[in-house]
Amino acid sequence: MDSQKISIGLFSSDDGIAIGVASKKLLIYPDHNIWINLAERSLDVAEKCRVAVRTGNVLFPVSTAAVTEVLEQTDSKQRCHVASLMDDLCGGISFRPSSYIHALESDLPLNVLLGSPTDSLTRDRVLCWIAECFARMKLVFPPSWDRTKAESFTNQLARKPEVRSVRWLVENFPVDKMRPLQAEWEKHFVERTKASVAEGVSLVQNLAKDARWKRLLFEERHWAYKEYVRPRMRKSITEAVGEENLVKTMANILRRVGLGSEDRFNRIMAVMPSLDLFCHIMVERRRDPMRKVYKQDFCDVEHAIVGSVYADVFVTSDGHLFDLLTNRCSVSAARGCRVVKGVQGLEEVLKSCK
């Protein structure tokens, strides 16, 4: 029977300790074009990055989007070249997928609603080894396996350097199978964004100019609440009191805390900075209906909602994204992330690391 199978997470508590140590370092997150520039043109700056990493105080973590974009490169030699640089600088560390981070963030608003002290996620919870940059990994053994032997096998696999290597993924990942799925994600993103932009134009066309941004932000945040927060909140309450007491418990909570307010909504979004940044980015897309939506926007957004929230420094060569994160949106600044432009901006950061 399936229930008799042995399921073991690939990484142990010792790995969690190592992730915790990595999370306390200065984390610099380059987007895809910066990685390409460092690997192919700005070799002197790439070496400065290696020197910074060798000091033991700096890391350049990758992410789902960063690894995906390397895998999508059609030139196998270029893929391996960029992946090797990533391995040199990331120390085997990646951010978890944005969907996973959003789920973790969405567990926090219940405490805000109940008036409990609530902080945003600590970085050790949003970091992982590269092998889990797409999803958590578990090994499932048949019932015939001895558990001790299964754990020994898992521990041996977890110690292999391949599970911490972008280069290994590049050389072994079934890229041809991944690309259609990635194309489908990008297509969905473009279609959703176009529909959202059109809806936004209709939604605010009769509002005064200074009221449009506020209305659009409310709509995006309300979508995030319905999509992520409410289901997680329902799940948490159900696990605590049982399905039969769910409605009664939620009614009691509502009587206790009263109806929602703008201040509470702001406090809820503050503990979900990655999800809130996504809302802000979508607002800016909706405010600029003449700007064409590109499939590349999907990865640009993925880089931003992870790297410019949970890293200390976010490096981008995209002028539009840089302007959005530094001038039109305050989430990155509120999180203490320094957003810099291009390799030149990265060099300035490296000077301060000496």
Q: Do the beta carbons of residue 83 and residue 166 sit within 8 Å? A: yes
Type of residue numbered 296 = Q
SS3 95: strand
pLDDT at 3: 60
**CA dihedral defined by 134, 140, 146, 149, rounded to 10 degrees?**
-20
Residue 206, domain extent: 2-352
Which helix (H) or strand (E) element contains residue 151?
helix 147-158
pLDDT at 1: 45
Tell the burial category of 170 from Cβ atoms under 10 Å away from its Cβ (0-12, 13-18, 19+): buried
According to DSSP, the residues that pair with 28 across neighbouring strands are: 313
Q: State pTM to two decimals.
A: 0.91
pLDDT in 10s for each residue of the chain, 354 residues = 456 889 999 898 888 899 999 999 999 999 999 999 999 999 999 999 999 999 999 999 999 999 999 998 888 889 999 999 999 999 999 999 999 999 999 999 888 877 777 778 999 999 999 999 999 989 899 988 989 999 999 999 999 999 999 999 999 887 777 777 777 878 888 888 888 878 877 787 777 877 888 888 888 898 998 999 989 988 888 888 888 888 888 888 777 766 567 777 888 899 999 999 999 998 988 888 888 888 788 889 999 999 999 999 999 999 999 999 999 999 999 999 999 999 999 999 999 886
Structural domains in the chain (count): 1
